[in-house]
Chains A and B, each alone.
Chain A
Amino acid sequence: MAHDHKLEIFRGLWKFKSNVQKIWGVLAFLSLVTAIEVILGIYKPAVLTQNYFIGMKLLNWIFIILTLVKAYYIAWDFMHLRDEKSSLRRAIVWTPIFLICYLIFILLFEADYIYTVFKEGYLSWNF
């Protein structure tokens, strides 16, 4: 068990005096991110819903990026991956990321193909 904790987040921009303080700091940050997500989700600014980037609304990109940010801080500070050896961290993090990216790519492409078949093929389903 690692007794020494790394006490800075945001690449050293924010340093804490003790591990307990760091935990509360991370909680404040995660709550802030969730609040931003909920406010954006309720108001849905038109600028973000009408503009697209690689086939997806900007708003959805923001949601996904904020989710990954939250996931990072949960894994790094709550699951204390920050204090683990980098070899353990890499084994745990990059393996699923690689597999999941592959899965997302292959299934969403396939789904988009089926969508065009349903839309343009000689097939009626919406009746």
Chain B
Amino acid sequence: MDTTVTTGSEESVWGGGNRPLNASYGKMMMWFFIVSDALTFSGFLVSYGFSRFKFIETWPIADEVFTHVPFFHGNYPMIYVAFMTFILIMSSVTMVLAVDAGHKMKKNRVIWYMFATIIGGAIFVGSQAWEWATFIKGDFGAVETKGGRILQFVHADTGERAALADFAQTLPEDRVKHIKSEGVWYMQEGYKTSYSLNEVVEGFKASPNILIRTETINEEGEKTVLDRSGSLAKLANATQVVEGANLIHNEYGSRLFADFFFFITGFHGFHVFSGVVINIIIFFNIILGTYERRGHYEMVEKVGLYWHFVDLVWVFVFTFFYLV
């Protein structure tokens, strides 16, 4: 890497010198990779913006979607995501400290800082898995209309969200789940909801305290709640019950929201995961003394660049998915 050809132009950077950018080959390539990966992520985030601007009046409100914190009950919008952000920034800090210790050739310090970085990354990936599981499982349940729109339920007196279980009736129905062996071709039903559409509709008719909340956002920036007669008229269009979210149905609102959530946070989570794997490899290399023998810890700096980039992307995902 450091072999040089002695030519007359070596002193002159403009003449092509030895290293016009004063960065090694490996570091340059890491930067080029990061630039192209940044463009991939911006492609995702901008297409999220595209879909959101297209359905600006009906897009889900993130504060109402991500409200859970593990081991606690109640409504805590954003707290957990803020915690995840802090964990990732913190692991970025231990990474820079590792690079700094590497400059000073302090092997044991590099080992411990790398270890802390790996732990931070693992906590973040675990948190994201939990976030996915909560999102997929769903919260209150909703019904979907013929046009693919989502109708949610609220209590008329308090304005709080109502879960399907709060009002749905249990009717003596016998509904068999459609399985693949009974299907004509690969047809099968993804999942069976805990209440049938009929049970929800009958329960709704019997409880005057429940109203329907549509996807439309009103001037105060809140979802529109219909009155009782409007709710009943709207419910006549319902075609199925939705609990939780997947790529096709999403109880929180627009299905594109769930699609982008899975795609963007999934792609980012994959980056964090591969970052953790690369960090582990480097971690063992440091323990084995590879870089001590090589004479420099530039490899730590290179994986560090990747790790900070993952943090950098999360800062944007955090803003555009959870805040804006």
Contacts and interface: CB of A to CB of B under 8 A. Distances in A.
Interface residues of A, number: 54
A7 B23 CA distance: 20
Given A23-B100, A74-B308, A78-B95, A112 B89 contact: no
Contacts, number: 147
A20 B301 CA distance: 15
Given A125-B147, A126-B147, A20 B312 contact: no
Contacts of A124: 147
Contacts of B42: 96, 99-100, 103
B97 A78 contact: no
Nearest to A3: B103
Contacts of A31: 86, 89
Interface in B136-188: 145-147, 149
B284 interface: no
B112 to A, nearest CB: 14
Contacts of A37: 319, 323
B319 A63 contact: yes
Nearest to A106: B46
29 contacts: A1-B298, A20-B97, A31-B86, A35-B82, A38-B79, A41-B63, A41-B323, A42-B63, A60-B324, A63-B324, A64-B319, A71-B315, A77-B96, A78-B96, A79-B312, A85-B23, A88-B21, A92-B35, A99-B42, A100-B46, A103-B43, A107-B50, A108-B50, A111-B50, A115-B54, A126-B149, A126-B216, A127-B145, A127-B146
Sort A-B residue pairs by CB-CB distance and give the 6 closest, nearest first: A111-B53, A127-B147, A88-B21, A67-B319, A111-B50, A38-B82
Interface of A: 1-3, 19-20, 23-24, 27, 30-31, 34-35, 37-38, 41-42, 49, 60, 63-64, 66-67, 70-71, 74-75, 77-80, 84-85, 87-88, 91-92, 95-96, 99-100, 103-104, 107-108, 110-112, 114-115, 118, 124-127
Interface of B: 20-24, 28, 31, 34-35, 38-39, 42-43, 46-47, 49-56, 58, 63, 77-79, 82, 85-86, 89-90, 92-93, 95-97, 99-100, 103, 145-147, 149, 215-216, 221, 237, 296, 298, 301, 304-305, 308-309, 311-312, 315-316, 318-319, 322-324
